[in-house]
Amino acid sequence: MSERESRRAALVRSRLSKLLASDDGILPGSLIERTLRCGKENCRCKADPPKLHGPYVQWGYSRDHKRITRWLSAEQVERYQPEIARARRFRELVAELEAAEIQRVERAEGWGT
C-alpha cells in the first residue's frame, strides 16, 4: 500500500470512529415529501388542475427485506433528519473504506491496476 493510500484509509477510519463515538443516533432510510389526494368527492384535490394536500413527510427504511414507511410530523422530521443524514454519511464512509481496501488488496496481489 502506498503512503497516500495508507493515509486515505487511516483518514476514513478516523472519520468512521468519530461518527460512531458520538452519542448522536444513526437511523437508516430516507425522508420523502409527498402530496396526496383524499377520498372526498368535491375536494380541491379532485379539481382540474388538482390542488393536492400536503406536503407530508414520510420516512422509509428496510427491515427484514421489507420496506417500512412512517408518516412524520414537522417536529419528528426536525428531530430525526440529522440521524438519517448521519446514517447516509456512515454508508458513504464505509463505501470509501471498502474501495481503499479493495485497491490495497489488488495492488498487493498484482491484480488489475
Q: Is the peptide bond before 55 cis (omega within 30 degrees of 0)?
A: yes
Q: Write down the pLDDT at residue 113.
A: 60
Strands 53-63 and 30-36: antiparallel
Q: Write down the pLDDT at residue 112.
A: 74
pLDDT digits (tens, 9 = 90+) for 51-85: 999 999 999 999 999 999 999 999 999 999 999 99
Q: At what angle do helices 74-109 and 3-21 cross, to 10 degrees?
A: 150
Where does the pLDDT of residue 1 fall: very low under 50, low under 70, confident under 90, or very high at 90 and above? low
How many structural domains is the chain composed of? 1
Task: Dig out the grid coordinates for 112 from the structure.
Answer: 488489475
pTM across the whole model: 0.80
Domain that holds residue 88: 3-109
